[in-house]
Amino acid sequence: MMKRREATAEEIEQTLIELPQWEVKDGKLHKLYKFDSFAAALGWMVSAGVEADKMDHHPEWSNIYNRVTVNLVTHDLGNVISTWDLELARKMDKLLP
């Protein structure tokens, strides 16, 4: 796992190219996931939560029916987007059905 540090503008830009459905919104890495059902959304959240917990890096997220809103920011570095936020975004997308 990469070292936790503030991500550079170039690293963020490259990640947004790799993961085009993500964006920077209000200083956080942001994505709205849409699933076929509540059960699918919840199942994905459980899997993503396990990955986040392994990293000891936890998302700000909410779930309404088949939608999950995710915001990633690193609080202990001063509420900035970090290398771990970029890595967690990649891991979350890899878990998609």
Does residue 3 belong to any structural domain of this protein?
no
Cβ contacts of 10 within 8 Å, gap of 6 or more: none
Question: What's the residue count for the chain?
Answer: 97
Does residue 4 belong to any structural domain of this protein?
no
Does residue 46 belong to any structural domain of this protein?
yes
Q: Would you give per-residue pLDDT tens digits along the chain (97 residues)?
A: 668 899 999 999 999 999 999 999 999 999 999 999 999 999 999 999 999 999 999 999 999 999 999 999 999 999 999 999 999 999 999 999 8
Determine the Cα–Cα distance for residues 72 and 30; give it in Å rounded to an integer. 6
Determine the Cα–Cα distance for residues 82 and 4; give it in Å rounded to an integer. 6
Task: Residue 35: give its domain's CATH number.
Answer: 3.30.1360.20
Determine the Cα–Cα distance for residues 81 and 23; give it in Å rounded to an integer. 12
Does residue 70 belong to any structural domain of this protein?
yes
Domain that holds residue 83: 9-94
Q: What pLDDT sits at residue 11?
A: 97
Number of separate domains in the chain: 1
Does residue 2 belong to any structural domain of this protein?
no
Chain-centroid distance of CA 78 in Å reads: 17
Residue 11, classed as helix, strand or coil, is helix
Residues paired with residue 73 on neighbouring β-strands, in sequence order: none
Residue 29 burial (CB count, 10 A): 25
